[in-house]
Structure 1
Amino acid sequence: MQTSPLRRPRTLAQGLVEQLSAQIRDGRLAPHTKLPTEGQVMQAYGVSRTVVREALSRLQAAGLVATRHGIGTFVVGPGAEPAFSLGPRQLETLRDVIAVLELRLGVETEAAGLAAQRRTADNLAVMRAALDEFADAVEAGRDAVAPDARFHGEIARATQNTHFSALMATFGARIIPRARLESQGDADGASVPPGPVDPSRRAYLRRVNAEHESIFDAIARQDADGARAAMRTHLVNSRERRRRSAAGEMG
């Protein structure tokens, strides 16, 4: 695996995605090649575990790599299509976004329960960092999509069931819709006015992250039923906000 410095202004994760994608597309990483471990990638590129996991999730979503439970992550190769994908065409309308939220209700509610039973200290650390980054971004008036997606993705990984994490990786950050229709989506797809984070929107996003905190607390104390209930409440709230938006009401 050849490396070169990851430069800003793009994110470190995107820079890593671009480097690995280029190596896959030009054949330096051939199909069926096993990728280095997370630790090896961290050392080679000088990035954190969170950056590596986000980059691998994006590569999985693009169908360039696939993870085999207990074995590792392997190159699939350019041009391969994932069995399931969630792209712009699947999120063209509010009805589409509501349908995805219904799917998330089924998948992520159970994932939260399993995560509460199986999470590791590392899983909790990644979740905690994502929630803190979300809060910092909102207070600074910045987009909080990336930490939001990372929080939900880490819950899937905390199930220790690669089918959950692979499905969430296939969704990618598109599972958190933004600026899709006539208004910009919030951190969980609810309709909010586009533009900078004004005081009203900041208060709203604080409530969204408070729902995240409830999920995290239940997972941290290994309360499986509580985690399922908190995740279900969180996603039902998002779905209902979308439904009100679809009916022409305020988000």
Structure 2
Amino acid sequence: MRPSRGETIAVLLSDRIIRGEIAPGERLPSEAELAIEFRASRPVIREALQRLQTLGYVRTRTGAGSYALTPPSLSEGDDWLSARGPAERAELHTFRTAIEQEAAALAARTRTESQLAEIDDAIDQFLPAVLPADTVEADFAFHQAVAAASGNRFIVEAVDRIGARAIVVPASRIASAERRGDGISIVAAEHAAVADAIRGRDPVAAAAAMRAHLFASVTRLGTGRP
């Protein structure tokens, strides 16, 4: 059976999300813009967006549009950190947690003042972020800064290769301004807890704070809470 027009458009848009042309948290073009681009009717575009939402590529909020989520599957050839499907995404998150909690512990032992300043700067950039895509960029910058402060080039490489696609985009980042602000404050507080432990040169607390933050981020994605 040939795919419907809506299914075909959904595949084309999902490819853009997977390739990073539409970043996690970025707003997709409007229905009207997509209708013009694909020379399709609005109902067909709605079918495509609904399919993308069902597959986990986007989250749609009435009156605000559709926003890309962290891609549920990746097709980057030899990228050994690609995750295809829920089971592999869970494995990738476990790997990421192991790597990043060790990065935080190492950073607490070896960080320099300039590296600590980079971590603090990433937190400062995250707080005023408004657009979902901006929050993803600032969020990832924080994790990169912690990895850099670890002083381990393999950890830095692993975090870079996992990339911003690992930053989950919960409903709170694609919600009303008030609820989005609550969600940003919660994540910023979690980042600050990691930074404070690194500042205090407490590797056990730094690892625990990073592990708690990553666990909370996945919990937020599953529950839709801030």
Within a 5 Å distance, the mapping from 1:76-115 to structure 2 comes to 81=78, 84-86=80-82, 90=83, 92-93=85-86, 95-115=87-107
Query: Match of 2:178?
Result: 199
Aligned residue identity for 1:214:
A
User: Alpha-carbon deviations, 1:32-71, whole Å to 9, x = none?
Assistant: xxxxxxxxxxxxxxxxxxxxxxxxxxxxxxxxxxxxxxxx
Q: What's the TM-score, normalizing by structure 1?
A: 0.53
Q: Give yes or no for contact 1:218–1:227 (8 Å, CA) kept in 2.
A: yes
Query: Match of 2:191?
Result: 212
C-alpha distance 85-121 of structure 1, shift in aligned 2 (>3 A): same
Aligned residue identity for 1:169:
D
C-alpha distance 99-238 of structure 1, shift in aligned 2 (>3 A): farther
Query: Match of 2:116?
Result: 124
Query: Match of 2:202?
Result: 223
Name the CA distance, whole Å, in 1 between partners of 2:173 and 2:121. 26
C-alpha distance 197-166 of structure 1, shift in aligned 2 (>3 A): farther
Instruction: Percent identity, please.
Output: 31
C-alpha distance 105-192 of structure 1, shift in aligned 2 (>3 A): same
What's the offset of the Cα at 1:239? 2.8
Structure 1 or 2: larger helix share? Answer: 2
Q: Give yes or no for contact 2:81–2:92 (8 Å, CA) kept in 1.
A: no
Q: Give yes or no for contact 1:141–1:196 (8 Å, CA) kept in 2.
A: no
Name the CA distance, whole Å, in 1 between partners of 2:133 and 2:115. 25
Q: Give yes or no for contact 2:100–2:210 (8 Å, CA) kept in 1.
A: yes
Structure 2 residue 131 is matched with structure 1 residue 152: no
Query: Match of 1:169?
Result: 160
Aligned residue identity for 2:137:
A
Aligned residue identity for 1:236:
F
What's the offset of the Cα at 1:155? 0.9
Query: Match of 1:143?
Result: 134
Q: What's the TM-score, normalizing by structure 2?
A: 0.59
Name the CA distance, whole Å, in 2 between partners of 1:159 and 1:169. 14
Structure 2 residue 209 is matched with structure 1 residue 237: no
> Gaps spanning 5+ residues in structure 2: where?
1-75
Matched positions, count: 151
Query: Match of 2:8?
Result: none
C-alpha distance 147-222 of structure 1, shift in aligned 2 (>3 A): same
Q: Give yes or no for contact 2:172–2:183 (8 Å, CA) kept in 1.
A: no
Q: Give yes or no for contact 1:142–1:197 (8 Å, CA) kept in 2.
A: no
Query: Match of 2:4?
Result: none
